[in-house]
C-alpha cells in the first residue's frame, strides 16, 4: 500500500464511501456513530485504504487496539492456522492449549513478585465487570471507588464506573455502591493546587474521604486508569498511585488498575502501572492484547483470584481460540521486536513536535502530556482561563482527515488530541503524519 498523502484521491468521503454511508443511514440508527466519515477497504501497518482508494495514515489504531498495526502477516498466519483447526469449543466445555498458554504468558509479563492468575473474556467492559466480581468475593465487601473522567466501558457496572454523562444520559439507574472522586488532573488540579508544592494532597485527601464520603469497611476496590484515556490522556502524577495503594491496603481495599487502553507497550512499558512502581491487586486488559481480535483478560494476585468459585465467571465466547492465537503471536512480536522501545521513540518524536507547536501557540496549546507513545495535546481558548477549545480540535481533525491523517479527540470537552498510532509505524510515516497534523494545527490556530 502506498501513501498518497497529504493529498487524497478524492475529498473524504469519496463517492463509494458516500453511497455506503447513505446505506448505513437507512439500516442502522444514528446511535451507531462514526469518527472518520469513510469506509475502510484494507489496512497495512499504520496505513488504511478506503473504498475510494484513498490511503490514510492512522494515528488512532482502532482506539488503541492496533499497537501491532493492521494485518501483521505473522498474526494473520497465526489466526489462519488456528481457524483451520477449530474456531470454538467453549473453554468451559473443552479447554484448549492456547487458553492455558496465554494465561501463563500474561502472568509472566505482569511485573511484581506476587504469583498471578488470569481469566480471559471478550471485551474491555467485561474485564471490568469480572474485576469487580473478583474484588467483591475476595474482600466480602461491595463498594467501588472510581474517578471523574474515567472510562471503563458500557455494560452496567462498567458504565456505572464510567464518568461521561454523554454516555449515560437516560440510562440509569446505575449500580449502587459506586463513589466517584476527582482524578489527579494536574493541569486542572481539582483542589486548585500547584504540582510543585501540593505534596500529593489529592492522595492524602483519600483519608478524609474515608471519614466523610466513603465507608472503607463497605468498600471492595478502587478502579483507576494510571493514565486516563478517554478522560483526556492524563497521567497520574508521580507518587500518587504508590501513596493511594498504601492507604487502600490499610483498609483491605483492592486496587484494580485498568490497562485496557494503556497496556501492551502503549506507554513505553508493557503496562502503564510499571511507571509508578506499584503492583496492583487486579489488572484489566484488552484492546492491543490480541491486535484486533476480540479478547480481554483479568489478572489478579493468585490468593485473590482463588476466592472465586466455579460458576462465578464464564461466557460462551470467553477466550476464543482464534483470539488466543492472535494474542500469543502479538505478545511474541512485542517481545522480540522490543515494542516498548518503539513506543518510547514515538513518544519522543511526537513530544518534540508538540512542544514546538506549544511554543508557537502558547495561548492555545495548554498542555502536552503523556507517557511514551500515549501522548496528548490539550487545546484551550486562552492559556489563562484554560477554557477548553473542542471546536479547534474538531477543525484540526477534519483538516487532517482531508489530507490523509486520521486523528481522535479525548476529554469530556473533546479538546484533547490523543495519539494512539500503531507502534510499528516507520519513522518516515510518523514524520509525514506529524507534518499533516502540523499543517492542520497551524491552519486552525493561525
Ligand atoms: C480504559 C478503558 N477501559 C475500558 C474500556 C472498555 O473496553 P471495550 O470497549 O472493549 O468494552 C475502554 C475502551 O475504550 C477503555 O479505554
* Best residue among 35, 66, 125, 267 to mutate for probing ligand 1, ranked by most atoms within 8 Å of CB: 125
Cis peptide before 238 (omega within 30 of 0): no
* Best residue among 63, 131, 150, 153 to mutate for probing ligand 1, ranked by most atoms within 8 Å of CB: 153
Neighbouring residues of 113: CB distance < 8 A, sequence distance ≥ 6: 279
pLDDT (average), residues 88-106: 97
* H or E stretch covering 108: helix 97-109
Q: Locate cell 498518497: which residue?
A: 4
Q: What are the phi and psi torsion angles at 132 (to 5°)?
A: -70, -40
The topology under which CATH files domain 74-336 is 3.40.640
Q: Locate cell 471507588: which residue?
A: 145
- For residue 237, what is the DSSP state? P
Ligand 1 within 6 A of 124 CB? yes
pLDDT (average), residues 370-390: 98
Residue 221 C-alpha to ligand 1 middle, in angstroms? 18
The pLDDT, as a whole number, for residue 34 is: 92
Residue 241 pLDDT grade (very low, low, confident, very high; cuts 50, 70, 90): very high
* Best residue among 151, 290, 315, 416 to mutate for probing ligand 1, ranked by most atoms within 8 Å of CB: 151
Residue 5 pLDDT grade (very low, low, confident, very high; cuts 50, 70, 90): confident
Which of 211, 237, 213 lies closest to 224 in space, CA to CA?
A: 237
The pLDDT, as a whole number, for residue 335 is: 98
The Cβ-side half-sphere exposure at 168, using a 13 Å CA radius, reads 21
Ligand 1 within 6 A of 261 CB? yes
- For residue 386, what is the DSSP state? -
Q: For residue 126, which atom of ligand 1 is closest to its CA?
A: 11
166-179 core/surface letters (b: 16 or more CB in 10 A; e: else): eeeeeeeeeeebbe
Residue 64 C-alpha to ligand 1 middle, in angstroms? 10
Q: What are the phi and psi torsion angles at 351 (to 5°)?
A: -60, -40
Ligand 1 within 6 A of 96 CB? no
The pLDDT, as a whole number, for residue 321 is: 98
3-state secondary structure of 121: strand
* H or E stretch covering 20: helix 15-27
Residue 252 C-alpha to ligand 1 middle, in angstroms? 26
Residues of the chain with CATH 3.40.640.10: 74-336
Percent of the chain having pLDDT more than 70? 100
Q: For residue 123, which atom of ligand 1 is closest to its CA?
A: 10
Assessment of whether the complete model's pTM goes beyond 0.85: yes
Q: Whose CA is nearest to atom 8 of ligand 1?
A: 124
The pLDDT, as a whole number, for residue 8 is: 87
Q: For residue 225, which atom of ligand 1 is closest to its CA?
A: 1
**Pairing outcome for strands 178-181 and 143-147:** parallel
pLDDT (average), residues 146-153: 98
The pLDDT, as a whole number, for residue 1 is: 87
Which of 244, 257, 28, 12 lies closest to 135 in space, CA to CA?
A: 257
Ligand 1 within 6 A of 230 CB? yes
Residue 128 C-alpha to ligand 1 middle, in angstroms? 9
For 178-195, what is each residue's pLDDT tens digit? 999 999 999 999 999 999
Cα–Cα–Cα angle for 273, 261, 310, rounded to 5 degrees: 80
Q: 242: which 3 cell numbers? A: 504508590
pLDDT (average), residues 131-147: 98
Residue 243 C-alpha to ligand 1 middle, in angstroms? 26
For 25-52, what is each residue's pLDDT tens digit? 999 999 999 999 999 999 999 999 999 9
For 408-422, what is each residue's pLDDT tens digit? 999 999 999 999 999
Residue 52 C-alpha to ligand 1 middle, in angstroms? 31
Ligand 1 within 6 A of 151 CB? yes
Residue 98 pLDDT grade (very low, low, confident, very high; cuts 50, 70, 90): very high
The 3-class secondary structure across 35-100, one letter per residue, is CCCCCEEEEEECEEEECCCCEEEECCHHHHCCCCCECCHHHHHHHHHHHHHCCCCCCCCCCCHHHH
Q: What angle, 0 to 180 degrees and rounded to 10, lies between the N-to-C axes of helices 73-85 and 321-336? A: 150
Which of 320, 266, 331, 272 lies closest to 296 in space, CA to CA?
A: 320
Q: 259: which 3 cell numbers? A: 490497562
Q: 446: which 3 cell numbers? A: 493561525
**Pairing outcome for strands 282-285 and 254-258:** parallel
Residue 4 pLDDT grade (very low, low, confident, very high; cuts 50, 70, 90): confident
The pLDDT, as a whole number, for residue 7 is: 80
Which of 335, 354, 350, 368 lies closest to 269 in space, CA to CA?
A: 335
Ligand 1 within 6 A of 286 CB? yes
Residue 231 C-alpha to ligand 1 middle, in angstroms? 12
Q: How far is Cα 401 from Cα 245, in angstroms, rounded to an integer?
A: 42
Ligand 1 within 6 A of 366 CB? no
Residue 271 C-alpha to ligand 1 middle, in angstroms? 15
Which of 376, 390, 400, 291 lies closest to 36 in space, CA to CA?
A: 400
Neighbouring residues of 330: CB distance < 8 A, sequence distance ≥ 6: 68, 72, 75, 264, 288, 289, 290, 291
For 385-401, what is each residue's pLDDT tens digit? 999 999 999 999 999 99
pLDDT over threshold 90, residue 267: yes
Q: Whose CA is nearest to atom 13 of ligand 1?
A: 153
pLDDT over threshold 90, residue 6: no
Cα–Cα–Cα angle for 224, 327, 149, rounded to 5 degrees: 20
Residue 134 pLDDT grade (very low, low, confident, very high; cuts 50, 70, 90): very high
Q: For residue 296, which atom of ligand 1 is closest to its CA?
A: 10
pLDDT (average), residues 286-314: 97
Q: Locate cell 511485573: which residue?
A: 111
Q: For residue 63, which atom of ligand 1 is closest to its CA?
A: 14
Q: How many residues does the chain have?
A: 446
Cβ 249 vs Cβ 243: under 8 Å:
no
| Helices marked H in 260-336 | 302-305, 321-336
Terminal-to-terminal C-alpha distance of the chain: 33
Q: 122: which 3 cell numbers? A: 471478550
Amino acid at each position: 500500500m502506498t501513501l498518497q498523502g497529504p493529498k487524497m484521491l478524492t475529498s473524504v468521503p469519496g463517492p463509494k464511501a458516500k453511497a455506503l454511508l447513505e446505506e448505513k443511514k437507512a439500516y442502522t440508527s444514528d446511535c451507531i456513530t462514526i469518527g472518520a466519515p469513510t469506509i475502510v477497504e484494507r489496512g497495512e501497518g499504520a496505513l488504511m485504504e478506503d473504498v475510494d482508494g484513498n490511503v490514510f495514515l492512522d494515528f488512532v489504531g482502532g482506539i488503541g487496539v492496533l499497537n501491532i498495526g493492521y494485518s501483521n502477516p505473522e498474526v494473520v498466519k497465526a489466526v489462519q492456522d488456528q481457524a483451520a483447526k477449530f474456531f470454538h469449543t467453549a473453554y468451559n466445555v473443552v479447554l484448549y492449549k492456547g487458553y492455558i498458554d496465554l494465561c501463563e504468558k500474561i502472568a509472566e509479563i505482569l511485573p511484581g513478585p506476587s504469583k498471578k492468575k488470569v481469566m480471559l473474556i471478550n471485551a474491555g467492559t467485561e474485564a471490568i465487570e469480572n474485576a469487580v466480581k473478583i474484588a467483591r468475593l475476595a474482600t466480602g465487601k461491595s463498594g467501588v471507588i472510581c474517578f471523574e473522567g474515567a472510562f471503563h466501558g458500557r455494560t452496567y457496572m462498567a458504565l456505572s464506573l464510567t464518568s461521561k454523562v454523554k454516555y449515560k444520559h437516560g440510562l440509569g439507574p446505575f449500580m449502587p455502591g459506586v463513589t466517584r472522586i476527582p482524578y489527579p488532573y494536574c493541569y486542572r488540579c481539582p483542589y486548585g493546587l500547584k504540582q510543585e508544592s501540593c505534596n500529593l494532597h489529592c492522595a492524602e485527601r483519600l483519608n478524609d474521604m474515608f471519614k466523610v464520603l466513603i465507608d472503607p469497611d463497605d468498600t471492595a476496590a478502587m478502579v483507576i486508569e494510571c493514565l486516563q484515556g478517554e478522560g483526556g490522556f492524563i497521567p497520574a502524577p508521580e507518587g500518587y498511585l504508590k501513596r493511594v495503594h498504601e492507604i487502600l491496603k490499610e483498609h483491605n481495599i483492592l486496587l484494580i488498575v485498568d490497562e485496557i487502553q494503556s497496556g501492551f507497550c502503549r506507554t513505553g512499558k508493557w503496562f502503564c502501572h510499571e511507571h509508578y512502581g506499584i503492583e496492583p491487586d487486579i489488572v484489566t486488559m484488552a484492546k492491543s492484547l490480541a491486535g484486533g481480535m476480540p479478547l480481554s483478560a483479568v489478572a489478579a494476585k493468585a490468593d485473590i483470584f482463588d476466592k472465586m468459585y466455579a460458576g462465578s465467571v464464564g461466557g460462551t465466547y470467553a477466550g476464543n481460540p482464534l483470539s488466543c492465537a492472535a494474542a500469543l503471536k502479538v505478545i511474541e512480536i512485542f517481545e522480540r521486536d522490543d515494542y516498548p522501545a518503539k513506543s518510547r521513540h514515538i513518544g519522543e518524536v511526537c513530544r518534540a513536535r508538540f512542544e514546538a507547536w506549544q511554543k508557537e501557540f502558547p495561548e492555545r496549546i495548554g498542555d502536552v502530556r503523556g507517557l511514551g507513545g500515549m501522548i496528548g495535546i490539550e487545546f484551550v481558548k486562552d492559556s489563562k482561563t484554560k477554557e477548553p477549545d473542542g471546536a479547534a480540535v474538531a477543525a484540526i481533525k477534519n483538516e487532517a482527515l482531508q489530507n490523509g491523517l486520521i486523528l481522535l479527540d479525548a476529554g469530556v470537552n473533546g479538546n484533547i488530541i490523543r495519539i494512539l498510532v500503531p507502534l510499528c509505524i516507520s519513522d518516515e510515516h510518523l514524520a509525514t503524519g506529524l507534518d499533516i497534523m502540523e499543517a492542520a494545527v497551524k491552519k486552525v490556530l493561525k
